[in-house]
Amino acid sequence: MTDQAYNFAYLDEQTKRMIRRAILKGVAIPGYQVPFASREMPMPYGWGTGGVQVSAAVLTPDDTLKVIDQGADDTTNAVSIRSFFERTAGVATTTATRDATVIQTRHRIPEEPLTEGQILVYQVPIPEPLRFLEPRESETRKMHSLEEYGLMHVKLYEDISRHGHIATSYAYPVKVEGRYVMDPSPIPKFDNPKLSGTPAIQLFGAGREQRIYALPPYTQAVSLDFDDHPFTPSKADHPCGLCAATDSYLDEVITDDQGGRMFVCSDTDYCTARQAAGHKGKDAA
């Protein structure tokens, strides 16, 4: 039941209007970071204030919301954001990827392919891919506007010189439609190929840094690499312990203090659906 003390989806209409304008601009210029006047939200920075504001701005009363945190529907962050919108917007919620119209995510893209009409909202801690190489905001903006992205390759060069391969495994930079270099938020690089050509709209919100950016449907996003060190999506080399999936991104779970461990799908919805369909891994009870 909607708490009548709040406007629909917590934010007031003027704020949502402002955020929607930023989103529209972001969609019009894929990969470009649009500044917006981020509001104080009733949760600490780092818990998804950017994603929550974007979700609040795109939610309608008819929407069905799914919230995941590292792929899971049942962790603290996911549960509290889901109940936040149940209370302030009264929208239906689900854990099934295919039933959701708006999916807010932290650090994962669902395994099940997204479809047209769905919106995927990312929580972004640091939107600027060049930040750790160039601390000056004035300079990074200029580099984006002049397409000076050589520095991004310096980071990859450093990886190879130190580790023998590109060791960046999450927040792996992509170039959007041959123009802007974008930080896809800290998703594992396993998910990078799913960014490109997706039928769903992908929106990125960074609350503390006050930036929104977007990938419209069917947008090309190419992971940066070297000719002789091509990009490779990587995952733990195991099948899922519960559903035996070999094509999903896995979490390593320590099960005792004798070195026992198991690998399970990080996408809980994907894993439970497979188990319900009769797939059984070696660690399944």
Partner 1 sequence: MTPLLSVQGITKHYGTHIGCADVSFDLYPGEVMGIVGESGSGKSTLLNCMAGHLAPDAGRVMFDTRKPSGDDAAGHDTYGPRDTVTMSEPERRMLSRTDWAFVHQHARDGLRMGVSAGGNVGERLMAVGARHYASIRDQATDWLGRVEIDAGRIDDRPTTFSGGMQQRLQIARNLVTGPRLVFMDEPTGGLDVSVQARLLDLLRGLVRDMGLSAIIVTHDLAVVRLLADRIMVMKSGRVVESGLTDQVLDDPQHAYSQLLVSSVLQV
User: Which residue ranges make up the site for partner 1 (CB under 8 A)?
Assistant: 133, 146, 148, 150-151, 153-154, 157-158, 160-162, 226-229
Query: From the candidates 31, 50, 205, 241, which is the catalytic residue?
Result: 31
Instruction: Check if 207 is active-site.
Output: no
**Choice between 158 and 177, CB closer to partner 1:** 158
Least gap, CB of 138 to partner 1 (angstroms): 13
Q: Cβ-count burial of 84 within 10 angstroms (0-12 exposed, 13-18 middle, 19+ buried)?
A: buried
243 catalytic per annotation: yes
Q: Which residues pair with 120 in a beta bridge?
A: 103, 202
The DSSP code for 48 is S
Shortest approach of partner 1 to residue 193 CB, angstroms?
A: 20
Smaller CB separation from partner 1, 92 or 151: 151
**Would you say 73 or 128 has its CB closer to partner 1?**
128
As measured in angstroms, the least distance from the Cβ of 228 to partner 1 is 5
Owner of token pair 């004798």? 258
CB nearer to partner 1: pick between 229 and 238: 229
What tokens appear for 156 in the block?
A: 């990859």
Q: How far is the CB of 163 from partner 1 (least distance, A)?
A: 11
CA atoms of 17 and 228, how far apart (whole Å)? 47
Residue pointed to by tokens 């990587």:
234
d(CA 29, CA 204): 13
Backbone angles phi, psi at 89, to 5 degrees: -120, -20
Of 26, 48, 50, 240, the active-site residue reads 240
Q: At residue 63, what is the residue type? A: D
Pairing mode, strands 211-215 and 201-206: antiparallel
Residue 205 annotated as catalytic: no
Taking the complex as a whole, how short is the minimal distance between the CB of residue 227 and partner 1, in angstroms?
5
The runs of H, that is alpha helices, within 29-149 are 49-58, 76-88, 137-145
Beta carbon nearer to partner 1, 20 or 155: 155
Other residues' Cβ atoms within 10 Å of the Cβ of residue 227: 5
Is 265 considered catalytic here? Answer: yes
Active site residues: 31, 240, 243, 265, 271
